């Protein structure tokens, strides 16, 4: 069975550091991609990238409440931006190394933003402050069912990776983010956009393997959504 490394957050619970990856990611990698999920911690000293790449067949970069530190794309930190700099130190070099090694990877939410930053792009720290943009944040104090419910449409780029995987021209997706792509990294291609023009999915134009990033959360009850099924099945097939 092929293995997929799932990058964990570094968070503090009850005064102790913990490494965290939501069960939905693990289930989607196991059942949707048909692979063995292995958790990769964000340690104080980042694990050796060459050793990690030799240990897995693919990588999943997960979502998170935290954000990429804006110093990585030349911006100042704005209030209300939660960081996880230990994860930054682990994921940004790992993304670059994985791409150089032609390893299949799937990047979701924070992972999607990490992919853009790792390759030289930048982020809006608060999309909802930009005139004409939707408020892409989840409802406050809502149940998980409401938070992860379909929130807006996306237009899928004809002939792109996402269109070929799914056979779709449009879809409804959930929306649980306040940051998003500002300057698209060199080499990335837009795979989907929201009605307000915010980029919702990207691929690596010159990739020799599966490299896809999505801003929404396809792992949430993936088996009930044809687009999510197509994404995880396509990722698994590429390993």
Catalytic residue chosen out of the listed positions 124, 136, 177, 217: 217
Catalytic residue check, 217: yes
Q: Is residue 85 a contact partner of residue 46, using CB atoms and an 8 Å limit?
A: no
* Interatomic CA distance for residues 98 and 111, integer angstroms: 13
Catalytic residue chosen out of the listed positions 109, 147, 177, 191: 109
Question: What is the number of other CB atoms lying within 10 angstroms of the CB of residue 155?
Answer: 15
Distances (CA, A) of 203 to 115, 211, 219: 10, 6, 18
155: tokens are 């237009």
Catalytic residue check, 169: no
* Interatomic CA distance for residues 130 and 150, integer angstroms: 22
Catalytic residue chosen out of the listed positions 24, 147, 200, 219: 219
Q: Which element (helix H / strand E) includes 178? A: none
* Interatomic CA distance for residues 86 and 11, integer angstroms: 10
Catalytic residue check, 136: no
Alpha helix (H) ranges present in the chain? 23-27, 49-55, 85-100, 110-118, 144-147, 161-166, 226-238
Q: Which residues are catalytic?
A: 109, 217, 219
């Amino acid at each position: 069975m092929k293995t997929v490394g799932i990058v964990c957050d570094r968070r503090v619970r009850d005064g102790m550091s913990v490494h965290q990856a939501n069960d939905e990611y693990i289930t989607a990698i196991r059942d949707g991609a048909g692979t063995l999920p292995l958790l990769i911690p964000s340690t104080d000293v980042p694990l050796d990238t060459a050793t990690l790449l030799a240990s897995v067949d693919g990588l999943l970069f997960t979502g998170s409440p935290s954000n990429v530190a804006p110093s990585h794309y030349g911006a100042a930190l704005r209030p209300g931006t939660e960081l996880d700099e230990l994860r930054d130190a682990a994921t940004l070099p790992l993304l670059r190394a994985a791409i150089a090694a032609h390893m299949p990877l799937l990047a979701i939410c924070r992972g999607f933003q990490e992919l853009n930053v790792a390759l030289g792009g930048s982020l809006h720290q608060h999309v909802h402050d930009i005139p004409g943009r939707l408020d892409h944040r989840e409802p406050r104090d809502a149940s998980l069912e409401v938070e992860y419910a379909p929130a807006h449409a996306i237009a899928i780029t004809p002939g792109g990776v996402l269109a070929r995987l799914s056979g779709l021209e449009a879809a409804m997706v959930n929306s649980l983010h306040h940051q998003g792509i500002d300057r698209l990294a060199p080499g990335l291609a837009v795979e989907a956009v929201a009605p307000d023009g915010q980029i919702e999915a990207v691929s690596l134009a010159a990739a020799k393997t599966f490299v896809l990033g999505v801003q929404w959360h396809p792992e949430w009850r993936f088996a009930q959504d044809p687009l999510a099924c197509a994404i995880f099945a396509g990722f698994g097939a590429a390993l």
